[in-house]
Amino acid sequence: MSDDTPKLHKVLAQSGLGSRLEMEKLIIEGRITVNDELAHVGQRIKFGDRIKVNGRSLPVRIQAMPARVLAYHKPVGEIVSRDDPQSRPTVFRKLPRLYQGKWQAVGRLDLNTEGLLLFTSSGELANKLMHPRFGLEREYAVRVLGALSNIEKEKLLSGVNLEDGMAQFGSLEDGGGEGANCWYRVTIQEGRNREVRRMFEAVGHAVSRLIRIRYGKMVLPRGLKRGDWMELDAADIDQLTRSAGASHLGAAKPTHQAPAARPSTLRRTPSPNAKAGPSKELFIGADSLSRQRRDQKTAAARAKPRPRKAKI
């Protein structure tokens, strides 16, 4: 368990049962249990643990760990699952270790879809970001074979009938392209299985490439290479949690950072960024990586010892 979590005897003393030494004595005598197991001296406890003294429950206040959030650039060929009978590569293998809890993926991307995938240490935040009633918008860059007609665009915006019900895009914009390959930017407020692909197939167009470039207010950070992750700083997490109605969760101070990412190899000409989207002020994350790099350089420069002037 992380060293940031409090020790049992300290929490008991703070609750007014006695001194820390007296609490250690109670632990040694076997009069205290944590989650129905005998406690031991030096034991650390976390938010949600059940503590009993002499068989009686003791309500204690332990602050929940602040939320941590990762932005991961998922490449094609990875699955969003911890267990896979086929032993295919999983997105979880590259994430930093959590000493308490586990990383929870915010939504899913299928095997052949790439782009932004968020992870958080907070189950409550993950639920708010995914739950349909909060209606967080997802934005995708889609490359299809053949240009859409005006009638087909209208169908996708007004609604097409899929096996699991009606589905429609919130917006659909041209994104350029060459030859038979045409790019479009679409938004949708739900995440049914392969929904974007199935919608284009419903109007007779096969999707040859699909990239998620935004989830809610979080956009895919510029320069974040495929297969790399970055941890959001407190400012970005604060905006993200507010957008999901979970501002009380707070933000943990980032303790890990993936190696500095090189500029993305995604081709930009026919790509999702061929057409400017809504104002950048509405979204977060676009410049997060470059901002963190700049802050790291500034901190390193300040920490570098200055040469002493020679005495004359």
Please identify every residue annotated as catalytic.
Answer: 110
- Of 309, 107, 120, 310, the C-alpha closest to 212 is 107
Distance CA 55, CA 36 (A): 9
Q: What are phi and psi of 80, to 5 degrees?
A: -100, 75
Q: Quick check: 222 and 286 in contact, CB under 8 A?
A: yes
- Of 70, 88, 28, 98, the C-alpha closest to 224 is 70
Half-sphere exposure of 134 (CA within 13 A, CB side): 21
Query: Cα dihedral angle (122, 240, 117, 143), rounded to 10 degrees?
Result: 160
Distance CA 34, CA 276 (A): 55
Amino acid at site 63 = Q
